[in-house]
């Protein structure tokens, strides 16, 4: 069975101060994304679909796309703020795209196989791609999905707040709930998330399992994603000028309704990522260490 890697690479990098999905981290000038694609290809993925912004197309192809095209089948899709279900309009003052759920929705016409969705600017590790590829290759039933979970404390930065999907997992290893916390930060007295309803910082267990947006889905997920997007856009109490349609929001709704089951896969690999420019030296050092240990060639 063919499998597809779907890469969310349309982010604007406002906190990073630039397009981090194309920035150099490896000793040969490689981006984090190039390491992910290297690992995905070794794991057995057949093709990659890049979700990018139209205005970044030529730069993205020059920096990354054309190198990948030499090794894997590649498609490009654009995350366009106006690409929303019929019957809805984009608010006049809306500037940003609609979030990670909308990013994956943008790939609905390009993806025909079971697929793994990832962020372009996160390093997930070889084992994570192998786990998710093997799950997708063996999965015969619809609505049986998976995700790779990471320990919250290993995904935080000392330079500010981050967004993470906090997971609840049952004894059988299945996800029962996921809540997107858009601001999680380490303070002198513990790790806390900002509760937008109460405007308070609330303590969270640093050993919690979180989603880093590494998901495994089968193609019928796109139909359910559209349904959830319609519900999101239909909510009259939501400020659609700024609200984001997060992927964990859609997954959580499918779990709550009993429509889908999500197996949580646990990887021993460490996650690395860059939210802020100050995170870059640490990630570069980690990649250089892996190169020196022989996990990657000096030039991909």
Q: Which CATH architecture has domain 4-292?
A: Alpha-Beta Complex (3.90)
Q: What is the pLDDT of residue 119?
A: 93
Q: What is the pLDDT of residue 17?
A: 43
The bridge status of strand 272-273 relative to strand 162-169 is unpaired
User: If phi over 0 gives left and psi between -120 and 50 gives alpha, with beta otherwise, what is residue 222?
Assistant: alpha
**What are the structural domain ranges in the chain?**
4-292
Q: What is the pLDDT of residue 20?
A: 67
Q: What is the pLDDT of residue 19?
A: 61
Cβ–Cβ < 8 Å for 117, 104: yes
- Please give the structure tokens belonging to residue 258: 């009993």
Cβ–Cβ < 8 Å for 283, 32: yes
Q: What is the pLDDT of residue 16?
A: 43
Specify the pTM.
Answer: 0.92
Tens of pLDDT along the chain (300 residues)?
A: 899 999 999 875 544 444 667 788 999 889 999 999 999 999 999 999 999 999 989 989 998 999 999 999 999 999 999 999 999 999 999 988 899 999 999 999 999 999 999 999 999 999 999 999 999 999 888 999 999 999 999 888 888 898 888 999 999 999 999 998 989 999 999 999 998 888 899 999 999 999 999 999 999 999 999 999 999 999 999 999 999 999 999 999 999 999 999 999 988 888 888 888 888 899 999 999 999 999 999 988
By C-alpha distance, which of 23, 38, 102 is closest to 68?
A: 38
Q: Reduced to 3 states, what is the DSSP secondary structure of residue 174?
A: strand
């Amino acid at each position: 069975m063919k499998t597809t890697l779907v890469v969310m690479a349309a982010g604007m990098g406002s906190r990073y101060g630039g397009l981090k999905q194309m920035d150099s981290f490896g000793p040969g000038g490689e981006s984090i994304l190039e390491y992910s694609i290297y690992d995905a290809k070794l794991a057995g993925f057949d093709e990659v679909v890049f979700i990018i912004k139209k205005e970044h197309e030529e730069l993205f192809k020059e920096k990354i796309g054309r190198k990948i095209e030499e090794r894997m089948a590649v498609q490009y899709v654009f995350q366009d703020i106006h690409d929303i279900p019929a019957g809805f309009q984009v608010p006049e003052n809306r500037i940003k795209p609609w979030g990670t759920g909308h990013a994956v929705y943008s790939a609905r016409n390009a993806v025909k196989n079971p697929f793994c969705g990832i962020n372009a600017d996160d390093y997930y590790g070889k084992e994570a791609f192998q786990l998710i590829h093997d799950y997708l290759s063996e999965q015969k039933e619809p609505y049986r999905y998976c995700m790779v979970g990471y320990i919250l404390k290993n995904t935080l930065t000392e330079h500010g707040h981050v967004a993470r999907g906090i997971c609840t997992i049952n004894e059988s290893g299945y996800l029962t709930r996921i809540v997107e916390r858009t601001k999680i930060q380490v303070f002198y007295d513990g790790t806390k998330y900002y509760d937008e309803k109460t405007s308070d910082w609330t303590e969270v267990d640093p050993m919690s399992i979180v989603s880093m947006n590494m998901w495994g889905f089968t193609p019928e997920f796109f139909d359910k994603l559209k349904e959830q997007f319609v519900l999101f856009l239909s909510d009259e109490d939501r400020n659609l000028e700024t609200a984001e349609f997060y992927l964990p929001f859609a997954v959580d709704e499918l779990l709550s309704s009993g429509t889908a089951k999500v197996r949580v896969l646990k990887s021993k690999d460490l996650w690395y990522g860059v939210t802020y420019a100050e995170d870059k030296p640490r990630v570069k050092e980690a990649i250089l260490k892996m190169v020196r240990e022989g996990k990657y060639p000096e030039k991909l």
